[in-house]
Structure 1
Amino acid sequence: MRAMTNTDNKGFVRPVETYTETDFGLYMSRTADHPRFHHLESWLLPGHGLRVSIFHFVAGHDTGQRLYLDVGRFSGPDERGRWHAEDWYLDLIDVPGRPLELVDVDELLEAHHAGLLTGDASVRAVAIATRTLVGAAEHGHDVTAWLESTGAPLSWESGR
């Protein structure tokens, strides 16, 4: 039986409404207790090194972003049915009508300098971000079209 929970990197355990496993990843939908958004939908895509999320913002906090992509190592399920996520600091922001924006390069460099991220993981993070930027650009700056072309057709409960 699934626990139907999501544990973040600080150890907070939150209930999950929906988990859906596919051959290319894991979809999760849950409410959020955050001051800027009330609901979160995410896909873990191990083969792409990405977590792709939609934040459902509360009034007055919408940034115009469609998707938020975290770069890292994502895997699962393990022998107990759990999925794992390791964030490698680089993020990409998808705003309709604009190229993806790469952010938090400074965080990646600081994490590496502090010994929190190996050189190998840092290089892989840059490669994942570069592949994603190029893939989206080759599909008219549509990251979802690129993901679909690679065998990862994302679907969302919210219909986005």
Structure 2
Amino acid sequence: MAGVHPPKTQIFDPGARVQIDTKGTRREVVALREEPWGLYLSRPVVGRPNAWWIEVWVLPELGVCLSDWRWRPGHERDQDMYVDIAAIERDGRVLRMTDLYLDLVVRTGRETELLDADEFVAAVGQGLLEPRLAEYALERSHAVLDGLARHGHDHLAWLDSLGIDPGPRAEPAPPADLTGPR
């Protein structure tokens, strides 16, 4: 696989109430909560025609970032939760997340699918991911996949088994272009 991108990084800054995406764009968040297990945020999706909202749970100790997307009509996906395997470092309140290529798609009660193994292998082969991080990514992806499978492919049951309460969720109102005139 030619042309694999270097690992993507994001920054979550609770003090500034922003998420700085992989391109350096500051995304202001609507809801943000710091928890003992990490960080929850909820924000509109800007500049992406297929989605209008995202909720994110960053769990540094587990090496994962869970994302729940709200899709625009016609762009729905068969997924209940998207899991990025990541190296997450804390600097005070700021979290820096480096995506380690491997992702999981949870279809609650049915299955969890591993994605981007080809991209992971290519990145390791091209020296974009150092061996220590590659090994960490494999260990984390297998542990998370195993935990999800043991809990019926239910991310909430899996988190509960680890003593993690993801807390209340933001309930955004759909944008006007999804609901029509009021």
- TM-score, normalised to structure 1's length? 0.92
CA apart distance, 1:144:
1.9
Which one of 54, 78, 88 corresponds to residue 68 of structure 2? 54
2-structure distance, mates of 1:110, 1:123: 14
Give the structure with higher Rg (CA).
2
Residue identity in the other structure for 2:137: A
Which one of 31, 34, 37 corresponds to residue 18 of structure 1? 31
- TM-score, normalised to structure 2's length? 0.81
The residue aligned with 1:36 is 50
Q: Is the 8 A contact 1:132 1:143 kept in 2?
A: no
The residue aligned with 2:84 is 70
Residue identity in the other structure for 2:165: P
**What residue ranges of structure 1 are gaps of 5+ in the alignment?**
none
CA apart distance, 1:32:
0.5
Moved over 6 A (4+): none
Paired residue secondary structure (2:110): coil
1:137 matches 2:144: no
- Larger RCO, structure (CA 8 Å, separation 6 or more): 2
Q: How do residues 62-141 of structure 1 correspond to structure 2 at under 5 angstroms?
A: 62-76=76-90, 78-79=91-92, 81-141=93-153
For residues 46-76 of structure 1, the C-alpha deviation after alignment (integer angstroms, 9 at most, x for no partner) is 1111000100101111112110000011233
Identical amino acids, percent of aligned pairs: 34
**What residue ranges of structure 2 are gaps of 5+ in the alignment?**
1-13, 173-182
